[in-house]
Structure 1
Amino acid sequence: MASRKEMADFLESVEKRAFKQALYAVRQEDNALDIVQDSMMKLADRYAHAPANELPLIFQRILQNTIRDYYRRSKVRSFVSTLLSSLIPTHAEDDALDPLETLNVAADEAHTNPEQWYQRKEVALMIDASLQLLPARQREAFLLRYWEGLDVAETALVMGCSEGSVKTHCSRANHTLAAILAQKGVML
Protein backbone atom coordinates (compact mmCIF):
# COMPACT_ATOMS: atom_id res chain seq x y z
CA MET A 1 0.00 0.00 0.00
CA ALA A 2 1.38 3.40 -0.99
CA SER A 3 1.79 5.89 1.84
CA ARG A 4 0.65 9.49 1.48
CA LYS A 5 4.27 10.56 1.01
CA GLU A 6 4.84 7.93 -1.69
CA MET A 7 1.66 9.02 -3.47
CA ALA A 8 2.64 12.70 -3.25
CA ASP A 9 6.19 11.97 -4.46
CA PHE A 10 4.86 9.87 -7.33
CA LEU A 11 2.39 12.55 -8.43
CA GLU A 12 5.08 15.21 -8.26
CA SER A 13 7.43 13.07 -10.34
CA VAL A 14 4.91 12.53 -13.17
CA GLU A 15 3.06 15.84 -13.32
CA LYS A 16 5.19 17.56 -15.99
CA ARG A 17 5.39 14.52 -18.26
CA ALA A 18 1.67 13.85 -17.82
CA PHE A 19 0.88 17.45 -18.69
CA LYS A 20 3.00 17.22 -21.83
CA GLN A 21 1.24 13.99 -22.86
CA ALA A 22 -2.16 15.58 -22.35
CA LEU A 23 -1.06 18.72 -24.17
CA TYR A 24 0.10 16.68 -27.16
CA ALA A 25 -3.25 14.91 -27.18
CA VAL A 26 -5.65 17.85 -26.76
CA ARG A 27 -3.46 20.79 -27.87
CA GLN A 28 -5.03 23.19 -25.38
CA GLU A 29 -3.18 24.05 -22.19
CA ASP A 30 -6.24 24.58 -19.99
CA ASN A 31 -7.82 21.30 -21.04
CA ALA A 32 -4.51 19.46 -20.60
CA LEU A 33 -4.21 20.85 -17.07
CA ASP A 34 -7.77 19.72 -16.29
CA ILE A 35 -7.07 16.24 -17.64
CA VAL A 36 -3.92 15.84 -15.55
CA GLN A 37 -5.62 17.18 -12.44
CA ASP A 38 -8.60 14.85 -12.91
CA SER A 39 -6.27 11.89 -13.47
CA MET A 40 -4.27 12.66 -10.36
CA MET A 41 -7.42 13.04 -8.27
CA LYS A 42 -8.79 9.73 -9.53
CA LEU A 43 -5.53 7.99 -8.70
CA ALA A 44 -5.36 9.49 -5.21
CA ASP A 45 -9.05 8.83 -4.46
CA ARG A 46 -9.50 5.39 -5.94
CA TYR A 47 -6.05 3.80 -5.75
CA ALA A 48 -4.55 5.09 -2.49
CA HIS A 49 -4.42 1.46 -1.35
CA ALA A 50 -2.42 0.31 -4.39
CA PRO A 51 1.23 -0.72 -3.96
CA ALA A 52 3.68 2.04 -4.86
CA ASN A 53 5.27 -0.02 -7.65
CA GLU A 54 1.90 -0.28 -9.42
CA LEU A 55 1.16 3.45 -9.41
CA PRO A 56 2.91 4.27 -12.74
CA LEU A 57 0.84 1.79 -14.75
CA ILE A 58 -2.40 2.66 -12.99
CA PHE A 59 -1.79 6.36 -13.48
CA GLN A 60 -0.98 6.00 -17.17
CA ARG A 61 -4.14 4.00 -17.72
CA ILE A 62 -6.20 6.64 -15.88
CA LEU A 63 -4.53 9.45 -17.84
CA GLN A 64 -5.19 7.80 -21.22
CA ASN A 65 -8.80 7.06 -20.28
CA THR A 66 -9.30 10.66 -19.15
CA ILE A 67 -7.93 11.89 -22.49
CA ARG A 68 -10.34 9.57 -24.32
CA ASP A 69 -13.19 10.81 -22.13
CA TYR A 70 -12.25 14.38 -23.05
CA TYR A 71 -12.54 13.50 -26.74
CA ARG A 72 -15.89 11.78 -26.21
CA ARG A 73 -17.27 14.78 -24.33
CA SER A 74 -15.88 17.14 -26.97
CA LYS A 75 -17.51 15.12 -29.71
CA VAL A 76 -20.89 15.17 -27.95
CA ARG A 77 -20.60 18.89 -27.16
CA SER A 78 -19.65 19.61 -30.74
CA PHE A 79 -22.56 17.60 -32.09
CA VAL A 80 -25.08 19.23 -29.75
CA SER A 81 -23.77 22.73 -30.37
CA THR A 82 -23.89 22.11 -34.11
CA LEU A 83 -27.51 21.11 -33.84
CA LEU A 84 -28.45 24.00 -31.58
CA SER A 85 -26.35 26.81 -32.96
CA SER A 86 -25.98 28.50 -36.26
CA LEU A 87 -22.49 27.04 -36.66
CA ILE A 88 -20.62 29.96 -35.18
CA PRO A 89 -16.91 29.20 -35.60
CA THR A 90 -14.82 29.09 -32.45
CA HIS A 91 -11.24 30.21 -32.17
CA ALA A 92 -9.07 28.11 -29.90
CA GLU A 93 -6.25 29.95 -28.21
CA ASP A 94 -2.80 28.80 -29.18
CA ASP A 95 -1.08 28.89 -25.81
CA ALA A 96 1.62 26.37 -26.60
CA LEU A 97 3.85 25.28 -23.73
CA ASP A 98 7.53 25.85 -24.21
CA PRO A 99 8.88 22.31 -24.72
CA LEU A 100 12.12 23.28 -23.05
CA GLU A 101 10.39 23.66 -19.69
CA THR A 102 10.56 19.92 -19.24
CA LEU A 103 14.24 19.57 -20.18
CA ASN A 104 16.67 19.23 -17.31
CA VAL A 105 19.23 21.76 -18.48
CA ALA A 106 21.82 22.95 -15.99
CA ALA A 107 21.31 26.59 -15.13
CA ASP A 108 24.77 27.62 -16.24
CA GLU A 109 24.94 25.45 -19.39
CA ALA A 110 23.78 28.31 -21.60
CA HIS A 111 26.68 30.38 -20.29
CA THR A 112 29.38 27.71 -20.52
CA ASN A 113 28.55 26.41 -24.00
CA PRO A 114 25.88 28.59 -25.63
CA GLU A 115 26.28 27.07 -29.09
CA GLN A 116 25.65 23.54 -27.87
CA TRP A 117 22.75 24.75 -25.69
CA TYR A 118 21.18 26.54 -28.68
CA GLN A 119 21.53 23.45 -30.87
CA ARG A 120 19.84 21.30 -28.21
CA LYS A 121 17.08 23.87 -27.92
CA GLU A 122 16.49 23.85 -31.68
CA VAL A 123 16.41 20.05 -31.84
CA ALA A 124 13.99 19.93 -28.88
CA LEU A 125 11.66 22.36 -30.66
CA MET A 126 11.79 20.28 -33.85
CA ILE A 127 11.07 17.06 -31.95
CA ASP A 128 8.19 18.72 -30.13
CA ALA A 129 6.68 19.95 -33.40
CA SER A 130 7.23 16.55 -35.03
CA LEU A 131 5.55 14.65 -32.19
CA GLN A 132 2.43 16.72 -32.70
CA LEU A 133 2.23 15.52 -36.31
CA LEU A 134 1.97 11.86 -35.33
CA PRO A 135 -1.42 10.12 -35.27
CA ALA A 136 -2.82 9.91 -31.73
CA ARG A 137 -2.20 6.18 -31.15
CA GLN A 138 1.35 6.35 -32.50
CA ARG A 139 2.10 9.38 -30.33
CA GLU A 140 0.57 7.65 -27.30
CA ALA A 141 2.63 4.49 -27.81
CA PHE A 142 5.81 6.47 -28.47
CA LEU A 143 5.43 8.63 -25.35
CA LEU A 144 4.56 5.69 -23.11
CA ARG A 145 7.45 3.56 -24.36
CA TYR A 146 10.23 6.09 -24.74
CA TRP A 147 9.23 8.99 -22.51
CA GLU A 148 7.61 7.13 -19.64
CA GLY A 149 9.93 4.14 -20.04
CA LEU A 150 7.21 1.49 -19.97
CA ASP A 151 7.97 -1.86 -21.56
CA VAL A 152 5.88 -3.30 -24.40
CA ALA A 153 3.58 -5.29 -22.11
CA GLU A 154 2.95 -2.33 -19.79
CA THR A 155 2.29 -0.03 -22.74
CA ALA A 156 -0.18 -2.55 -24.21
CA LEU A 157 -1.95 -2.73 -20.85
CA VAL A 158 -2.22 1.06 -20.60
CA MET A 159 -3.36 1.47 -24.21
CA GLY A 160 -5.76 -1.46 -24.09
CA CYS A 161 -4.31 -3.18 -27.14
CA SER A 162 -2.01 -6.08 -28.00
CA GLU A 163 1.75 -6.01 -27.65
CA GLY A 164 2.02 -6.40 -31.42
CA SER A 165 -0.03 -3.24 -31.90
CA VAL A 166 2.27 -1.36 -29.53
CA LYS A 167 5.30 -2.52 -31.51
CA THR A 168 3.65 -1.47 -34.76
CA HIS A 169 2.65 1.95 -33.43
CA CYS A 170 6.15 2.56 -32.03
CA SER A 171 7.85 1.43 -35.21
CA ARG A 172 5.69 3.66 -37.37
CA ALA A 173 6.18 6.58 -34.98
CA ASN A 174 9.97 6.11 -35.03
CA HIS A 175 10.09 5.95 -38.81
CA THR A 176 7.83 8.98 -39.22
CA LEU A 177 9.77 11.04 -36.68
CA ALA A 178 13.09 10.07 -38.22
CA ALA A 179 11.85 11.05 -41.68
CA ILE A 180 10.46 14.39 -40.49
CA LEU A 181 13.63 15.23 -38.60
CA ALA A 182 15.86 14.10 -41.49
CA GLN A 183 13.98 16.52 -43.76
CA LYS A 184 14.84 19.25 -41.27
CA GLY A 185 18.51 18.23 -41.26
CA VAL A 186 18.56 16.39 -37.92
CA MET A 187 20.21 13.01 -38.09
CA LEU A 188 19.53 10.69 -35.14
Structure 2
Amino acid sequence: MVSPTKDPYPVLVSSPLAPTADAPPASLDQFLAGVGPRAFRFAEAGLRHREDALDAVQDSLIRMLDYREKPAAEWPPLFWSILRRRVIDLQRRRRFRLPFWRDNVDSDGEPVDWADEGPGPADVHAGREQYDVLVQALRALPPRQREAFTLRVLQDLDGATTARAMGCSEGAVKTHLARARDALRTLMENPT
Protein backbone atom coordinates (compact mmCIF):
# COMPACT_ATOMS: atom_id res chain seq x y z
CA MET A 1 0.00 0.00 0.00
CA VAL A 2 1.24 3.49 -0.87
CA SER A 3 1.89 5.82 2.02
CA PRO A 4 -0.72 8.63 2.06
CA THR A 5 1.98 11.28 2.53
CA LYS A 6 3.92 10.34 -0.60
CA ASP A 7 3.05 11.41 -4.12
CA PRO A 8 1.65 8.39 -5.99
CA TYR A 9 3.48 9.47 -9.14
CA PRO A 10 7.01 10.28 -7.89
CA VAL A 11 8.63 9.14 -11.13
CA LEU A 12 6.17 11.04 -13.29
CA VAL A 13 6.64 14.30 -11.43
CA SER A 14 10.37 14.40 -12.09
CA SER A 15 10.26 12.54 -15.38
CA PRO A 16 12.47 13.93 -18.14
CA LEU A 17 9.59 13.05 -20.46
CA ALA A 18 7.20 15.49 -18.77
CA PRO A 19 6.23 18.20 -21.29
CA THR A 20 6.91 21.81 -20.54
CA ALA A 21 4.25 24.49 -20.75
CA ASP A 22 5.94 25.83 -23.92
CA ALA A 23 6.15 22.63 -25.94
CA PRO A 24 3.35 20.21 -26.73
CA PRO A 25 4.04 16.54 -25.98
CA ALA A 26 5.99 14.74 -28.69
CA SER A 27 4.40 11.38 -27.93
CA LEU A 28 1.47 9.92 -26.05
CA ASP A 29 3.89 8.53 -23.46
CA GLN A 30 5.19 12.03 -22.82
CA PHE A 31 1.64 13.39 -22.52
CA LEU A 32 0.63 10.64 -20.08
CA ALA A 33 3.78 11.18 -18.00
CA GLY A 34 2.97 14.86 -17.62
CA VAL A 35 -0.75 14.53 -16.89
CA GLY A 36 -0.61 11.81 -14.20
CA PRO A 37 -0.10 13.91 -11.04
CA ARG A 38 -2.70 16.53 -12.03
CA ALA A 39 -5.15 13.80 -12.98
CA PHE A 40 -4.70 12.15 -9.60
CA ARG A 41 -5.47 15.37 -7.74
CA PHE A 42 -8.58 15.87 -9.89
CA ALA A 43 -9.80 12.30 -9.26
CA GLU A 44 -9.07 12.45 -5.55
CA ALA A 45 -11.06 15.68 -5.17
CA GLY A 46 -14.05 14.03 -6.83
CA LEU A 47 -13.81 10.60 -5.21
CA ARG A 48 -12.45 11.45 -1.75
CA HIS A 49 -10.63 8.12 -1.63
CA ARG A 50 -7.00 7.68 -2.55
CA GLU A 51 -7.17 4.14 -3.94
CA ASP A 52 -10.29 4.85 -6.00
CA ALA A 53 -8.57 7.94 -7.42
CA LEU A 54 -5.47 5.93 -8.33
CA ASP A 55 -7.68 3.31 -10.03
CA ALA A 56 -9.60 5.96 -11.98
CA VAL A 57 -6.39 7.59 -13.22
CA GLN A 58 -4.83 4.26 -14.14
CA ASP A 59 -7.94 3.19 -16.05
CA SER A 60 -8.01 6.53 -17.89
CA LEU A 61 -4.32 6.34 -18.78
CA ILE A 62 -4.80 2.83 -20.15
CA ARG A 63 -7.85 3.87 -22.18
CA MET A 64 -5.83 6.69 -23.74
CA LEU A 65 -3.57 4.10 -25.36
CA ASP A 66 -6.43 3.34 -27.76
CA TYR A 67 -6.16 6.92 -29.02
CA ARG A 68 -2.43 6.88 -29.78
CA GLU A 69 -3.12 7.70 -33.46
CA LYS A 70 -5.17 10.83 -32.68
CA PRO A 71 -3.45 14.21 -33.14
CA ALA A 72 -1.62 15.45 -30.04
CA ALA A 73 -3.91 18.48 -29.81
CA GLU A 74 -6.87 16.18 -29.12
CA TRP A 75 -5.24 14.28 -26.24
CA PRO A 76 -5.91 16.76 -23.38
CA PRO A 77 -9.69 17.13 -23.84
CA LEU A 78 -10.02 13.45 -24.65
CA PHE A 79 -8.10 12.39 -21.54
CA TRP A 80 -9.95 14.76 -19.21
CA SER A 81 -13.27 13.60 -20.65
CA ILE A 82 -12.34 9.94 -20.09
CA LEU A 83 -11.18 10.65 -16.53
CA ARG A 84 -14.28 12.73 -15.75
CA ARG A 85 -16.56 9.91 -16.93
CA ARG A 86 -14.59 7.37 -14.88
CA VAL A 87 -14.89 9.51 -11.74
CA ILE A 88 -18.64 9.90 -12.28
CA ASP A 89 -19.01 6.12 -12.80
CA LEU A 90 -17.20 5.41 -9.53
CA GLN A 91 -19.29 8.01 -7.70
CA ARG A 92 -22.49 6.39 -8.98
CA ARG A 93 -21.34 2.91 -8.00
CA ARG A 94 -20.48 4.11 -4.52
CA ARG A 95 -24.04 5.44 -4.03
CA PHE A 96 -25.44 1.96 -4.57
CA ARG A 97 -23.21 0.12 -2.11
CA LEU A 98 -25.07 -1.58 0.68
CA PRO A 99 -24.50 -0.22 4.21
CA PHE A 100 -22.80 -3.40 5.32
CA TRP A 101 -20.25 -3.25 2.50
CA ARG A 102 -16.93 -3.85 4.23
CA ASP A 103 -15.19 -0.82 2.68
CA ASN A 104 -17.88 1.59 3.88
CA VAL A 105 -18.01 0.68 7.58
CA ASP A 106 -15.47 0.29 10.35
CA SER A 107 -15.30 -2.56 12.87
CA ASP A 108 -18.14 -0.99 14.91
CA GLY A 109 -20.43 -0.82 11.88
CA GLU A 110 -20.14 2.97 11.63
CA PRO A 111 -19.82 4.57 8.18
CA VAL A 112 -16.26 5.49 7.29
CA ASP A 113 -15.56 9.02 6.09
CA TRP A 114 -12.81 8.51 3.50
CA ALA A 115 -11.97 12.21 3.49
CA ASP A 116 -10.50 11.82 7.00
CA GLU A 117 -8.34 8.82 6.05
CA GLY A 118 -5.13 10.82 5.97
CA PRO A 119 -3.26 13.60 4.24
CA GLY A 120 -3.63 13.97 0.50
CA PRO A 121 -0.84 14.29 -2.06
CA ALA A 122 -1.05 18.06 -2.32
CA ASP A 123 -0.11 18.34 1.37
CA VAL A 124 3.51 17.93 0.28
CA HIS A 125 3.24 21.17 -1.68
CA ALA A 126 0.80 23.23 0.35
CA GLY A 127 0.08 23.93 3.97
CA ARG A 128 -2.19 21.29 5.50
CA GLU A 129 -4.68 23.79 6.87
CA GLN A 130 -5.15 25.70 3.59
CA TYR A 131 -5.35 22.48 1.61
CA ASP A 132 -8.04 21.06 3.90
CA VAL A 133 -10.10 24.24 3.64
CA LEU A 134 -9.82 24.19 -0.16
CA VAL A 135 -10.73 20.49 -0.43
CA GLN A 136 -13.73 20.90 1.86
CA ALA A 137 -14.88 23.91 -0.13
CA LEU A 138 -14.49 22.03 -3.43
CA ARG A 139 -16.44 19.07 -2.07
CA ALA A 140 -19.27 21.37 -1.09
CA LEU A 141 -19.67 22.55 -4.69
CA PRO A 142 -22.13 20.92 -7.07
CA PRO A 143 -20.32 18.41 -9.34
CA ARG A 144 -20.42 20.50 -12.54
CA GLN A 145 -19.09 23.59 -10.75
CA ARG A 146 -16.33 21.51 -9.14
CA GLU A 147 -15.39 20.05 -12.54
CA ALA A 148 -15.33 23.46 -14.23
CA PHE A 149 -13.20 24.99 -11.46
CA THR A 150 -10.81 22.04 -11.31
CA LEU A 151 -10.29 21.81 -15.06
CA ARG A 152 -10.09 25.56 -15.76
CA VAL A 153 -8.26 26.82 -12.69
CA LEU A 154 -6.37 23.93 -11.12
CA GLN A 155 -5.54 22.09 -14.36
CA ASP A 156 -5.16 25.34 -16.34
CA LEU A 157 -7.07 24.10 -19.38
CA ASP A 158 -8.47 26.67 -21.79
CA GLY A 159 -12.21 27.26 -22.15
CA ALA A 160 -12.64 25.23 -25.34
CA THR A 161 -10.73 22.23 -23.98
CA THR A 162 -12.69 22.35 -20.72
CA ALA A 163 -15.98 22.54 -22.61
CA ARG A 164 -15.06 19.51 -24.72
CA ALA A 165 -13.94 17.55 -21.65
CA MET A 166 -17.16 18.38 -19.79
CA GLY A 167 -19.37 17.84 -22.83
CA CYS A 168 -20.96 21.30 -22.76
CA SER A 169 -20.59 24.73 -24.33
CA GLU A 170 -17.95 27.30 -23.41
CA GLY A 171 -20.74 29.53 -22.10
CA ALA A 172 -21.85 26.79 -19.71
CA VAL A 173 -18.25 26.41 -18.52
CA LYS A 174 -18.08 30.16 -17.83
CA THR A 175 -21.36 30.02 -15.91
CA HIS A 176 -20.27 27.01 -13.83
CA LEU A 177 -16.88 28.63 -13.21
CA ALA A 178 -18.35 31.96 -12.09
CA ARG A 179 -20.73 30.22 -9.71
CA ALA A 180 -17.93 28.01 -8.39
CA ARG A 181 -15.69 31.00 -7.70
CA ASP A 182 -18.47 32.83 -5.86
CA ALA A 183 -19.28 29.76 -3.77
CA LEU A 184 -15.61 29.03 -3.03
CA ARG A 185 -14.99 32.61 -1.98
CA THR A 186 -17.87 32.36 0.50
CA LEU A 187 -16.89 28.89 1.73
CA MET A 188 -13.22 29.75 2.19
CA GLU A 189 -13.95 32.97 4.04
CA ASN A 190 -16.31 31.15 6.42
CA PRO A 191 -15.00 27.56 6.88
CA THR A 192 -17.00 25.43 9.27
TM-score, normalization by structure 2: 0.71
Taking only the aligned residue pairs, the percentage that are identical comes to 35
Provide the residue aligned with 1:111 in structure 2. Answer: none
CA shift digits 1:96-139 (9 cap, x unpaired): 41423356xxxxxxxxxxxxxxxx66544433332232222111
Letter in 2 for 1:168: T
Specify every segment of 5 or more residues in structure 2 that has no aligned partner in the other structure, as ranges. 1-24
Q: Is 2:92 the counterpart of 1:64?
A: no
- Picking from 171, 175, 182, the partner of 1:175 is 182
Unaligned 5+ segments in structure 1 are 104-119
Deviation at 1:73, TM superposition (A): 2.8
Comparing both structures, which one devotes a greater share of its residues to helix? 1
Higher CA-based Rg: 1
Q: Is the 2:41–2:121 contact (alpha carbons within 8 Å) kept by the matching residues of 1?
A: no
2:75 is the alignment partner of 1:55: yes
Q: 1:92: how far off?
A: 4.8
Q: Which amino acid aligns with 1:31?
A: D
The 5-angstrom pairing of residues 1-188 of structure 1 reads 6-44=27-65, 46-76=66-96, 78=97, 81=98, 90-93=111-114, 94-101=117-124, 122-183=129-190
Cα deviation, residue 142, structure 1: 0.4
SS in 2 for 1:169: helix
TM-score if structure 1 supplies the norm length?
0.72
Q: Which residue number in structure 2 is paired with residue 110 of structure 1?
A: none
Task: Find the aligned partners of 1:133 and 1:8 in 2 and give their Cα distance.
Answer: 35
Q: How many residues align?
A: 159
SS at match of 2:27: helix
CA contact (8 A) 1:99 1:125 kept: no
Q: Which amino acid aligns with 2:168?
A: C
CA distance in 1, matches of 2:118, 2:130: 21
